[in-house]
Structure 1
Amino acid sequence: MVQLTISAAAKLPLFARGFPIQVDVKPGATVADVKASIAAKFPEFYSERQKVTVKGERKALDDETKVLEVLEDKEKELQVKDLGPQLGWRTVFIIEYLGPILIHPLFYHLPQLFYGQDVQHSQLQTFVYAFVMLHFTKRELETIFVHRFSHGTMPASYVFRNSAHYWILSGLFLALDIYRPVYSATSPSIRGTIRENETFLWAMTGLWAFAEVSNFHTHLTLRSLRPAGSRVRNIPYGYGFNLVSCPNYFFETLGWFFVSVMTGSISVWLFVAVSLGIMTNWALQKHKNYRNEFGKEYPRNRKAIIPFII
């Protein structure tokens, strides 16, 4: 057994006072083992709340890291920082996607509350309502039954920041705009235009459905690459992945792009623009990680998110 000293990197909650402490670990012990030892001494300071670093450094050590391999000598300390109350990523995503599911029915079925008048819904409004409800119900079901997460939790306070994108942009703003009288069946902006043409509406529905099914297919591919309960990463191949590292983001954007073309709504275009910016940033980082991890094995002709462009 090897004795390690663990000190506090910052002020800790009352239930975790008493640092520095000494813990005994086996030569092959991992950071996860160290966290478990800390949690054994301070039960409320559970592993997910802990950020463990080498003393004097800021980068968190991965749970799989073997402790003695990162310590230059036995006198060097580890430090622990409290990350605060945590929520599971699955719970976070469920909360995020719930916003539009709750908000859109209110605007669609109770227009008098928001517009001061009844709205005779156009086919366009009905189609978009169906798209939104199907899309976010799909996202909820994927979160529960399909997705596997490489990180178990995130700070609970982040849920408000993360949810704002969906609850405000694709929830409140989109619903407030698209179900208003200007898009109704009796509006001059709709009557006699392509937006009440059934051929156009069904064509856009087909394109939207193609994007949704393609997005779902890529999520299934990603799930198949990671065994349950692991953080294993493999190179994805197949539909979509031959062109970009993150086809799930590409098809997600494509689906909302078709809704934007279908409606001409500024709110939908805004949501697409913001979403594309966020997902492009994620895709570039994942693309970089793939290349760093797999080196020459990773296909060099792939882009990050948009085929042949980005």
Structure 2
Amino acid sequence: MASITLVVRPRGRPIKGLPESITVNPDESAAQIFSEIADASKFSIHRLRVTKGSDGTPISNNCDITVQQTGLRNKSAIDVKDLGPQISWRTVFVIEYLGPLLFHPIFYYGRSLIYGTSAPASDLQTLTMIMCVLHFAKREFETLFIHRFSAATMPARNIFKNSAHYWFLSGLNLAYWSYSPSSPAAQTPKSPLLTYLGIALFAIGELSNFYTHLILKNLRRPGSQDRGIPRGLGFGLVTCPNYMFEIMAWVGVTLVNRSLSTVLFFVIGGAQMYAWAKKKERRYRKEFPETYKKKRSVMIPGLL
């Protein structure tokens, strides 16, 4: 098929070097549009937002969609917007989880300086520190080697907002109260049963959460944005069993350290996960109307 010419129009802040038009092959992937504009403007493709000039519909930087399938024809106009400096989602998650990984050892090993106490940490405080470090070390491992991201980047300015939840709630706030001499975890429990239950829930939750992430990883080919219906551990019960097992693990931590700061963290985090799970359930129903088995509970069976 003969090549077509697309009229390029700037939208928002000026883009130096933005071409007035580009020539593309209708049979090639839509990613070709981004590549042509990026080569001319010297901008990263991830910094560009391209929409159809006719109706403002976003054009996806997707290798599985052709230029012709986007509805663009010869002399069609496209609008190009500079999204500003970008940062990869993988880097975002690494930075987010780094906060708790730093704060928990700092407050645990620095108790004499921070709290002015010479008393050693209790067994429950030691368990809390181990569990929190294991959890976020697992998160870092999954970020680097397991997760595949549908979007490559996000605006760099959002890194502070995204990191606040982990650095302050599960990092500074949770660590400060967990290792304090006045913490419930500093006392010897009358019965170890809750501690054993907490350890069991944490271990089951973490291992199951990791396994569901492997299932989700295998749904998507590397470098693609294709989607599928996940099946296996927990997916027959709720939309997002990875969130269910995440909550289970944090209930386990709460039973060990008995701190309201832990409850605050996973309740706020749980509310956000519930919103994400509801959104994913709607997407599954829309994308797979004939084959997807609808779920009444998206995160916790019978409750949420």
TM-score tier (shorter) = over 0.9
Instruction: Provide the residue aligned with 1:205 in structure 2.
Output: 199
Instruction: Provide the residue aligned with 2:105 in structure 1.
Output: 105
The amino acid across from 1:22 in the alignment is: S
The amino acid across from 2:278 in the alignment is: L
- SS of equivalent residue, structure 2 residue 7: strand
Gaps of 5+ in 1: none
Residue correspondences, number = 300
Q: Do structure 1's residue 178 and structure 2's residue 178 form an aligned pair?
A: yes
Cα displacement (A) at 1:18: 4.6
- SS of equivalent residue, structure 1 residue 261: helix
TM-score, normalised to structure 2, is 0.92
Q: 1:167 to 1:57 in 2, by over 3 A?
A: farther
The amino acid across from 2:258 in the alignment is: G
Instruction: Provide the residue aligned with 2:59 in structure 1.
Output: 61
Q: Tell whether the 8 Å contact from 2:92 to 2:159 is kept in structure 1 after alignment.
A: yes
Q: 1:300 to 1:58 in 2, by over 3 A?
A: same
Give the Cα–Cα distance (whole angstroms) in 2 for the partners of residues 53 and 38 of structure 1.
13
Instruction: Provide the residue aligned with 2:38 in structure 1.
Output: 39
Instruction: Provide the residue aligned with 1:254 in structure 2.
Output: 248
Instruction: Provide the residue aligned with 1:293 in structure 2.
Output: 287
Give the Cα–Cα distance (whole angstroms) in 2 for the partners of residues 225 and 57 of structure 1.
32
Instruction: Provide the residue aligned with 1:21 in structure 2.
Output: 20
Give the Cα–Cα distance (whole angstroms) in 1 for the partners of residues 184 and 152 of structure 2.
45
Q: Tell whether the 8 Å contact from 1:303 to 1:309 is kept in structure 2 after alignment.
A: yes
- SS of equivalent residue, structure 2 residue 8: strand
Q: Tell whether the 8 Å contact from 1:122 to 1:184 is kept in structure 2 after alignment.
A: no
CA-atom RMSD in angstroms: 1.9
Counterparts of 1:138-177 in structure 2 under 5 Å? 138-177=138-177
Instruction: Provide the residue aligned with 2:276 in structure 1.
Output: 282
Q: Tell whether the 8 Å contact from 1:245 to 1:287 is kept in structure 2 after alignment.
A: yes
- SS of equivalent residue, structure 1 residue 149: coil
Q: Tell whether the 8 Å contact from 2:209 to 2:242 is kept in structure 1 after alignment.
A: yes
- SS of equivalent residue, structure 1 residue 117: coil
Q: Tell whether the 8 Å contact from 2:4 to 2:73 is kept in structure 1 after alignment.
A: no
Instruction: Provide the residue aligned with 1:120 in structure 2.
Output: 120
Give the Cα–Cα distance (whole angstroms) in 2 for the partners of residues 30 and 107 of structure 1.
52
Give the Cα–Cα distance (whole angstroms) in 2 for the partners of residues 176 and 72 of structure 1.
56
- SS of equivalent residue, structure 1 residue 17: coil
Q: Do structure 1's residue 230 and structure 2's residue 229 form an aligned pair?
A: no
- SS of equivalent residue, structure 1 residue 116: coil
Give the Cα–Cα distance (whole angstroms) in 2 for the partners of residues 84 and 214 of structure 1.
38
TM-score, normalised to structure 1, is 0.91
Give the Cα–Cα distance (whole angstroms) in 2 for the partners of residues 182 and 130 of structure 1.
20
The amino acid across from 1:115 in the alignment is: Y
The amino acid across from 1:237 in the alignment is: R
Cα displacement (A) at 1:24: 0.5
Q: 1:224 to 1:20 in 2, by over 3 A?
A: closer
Give the Cα–Cα distance (whole angstroms) in 1 for the partners of residues 118 and 104 of structure 2.
16
Q: Tell whether the 8 Å contact from 2:59 to 2:70 is kept in structure 1 after alignment.
A: no
- SS of equivalent residue, structure 1 residue 51: strand
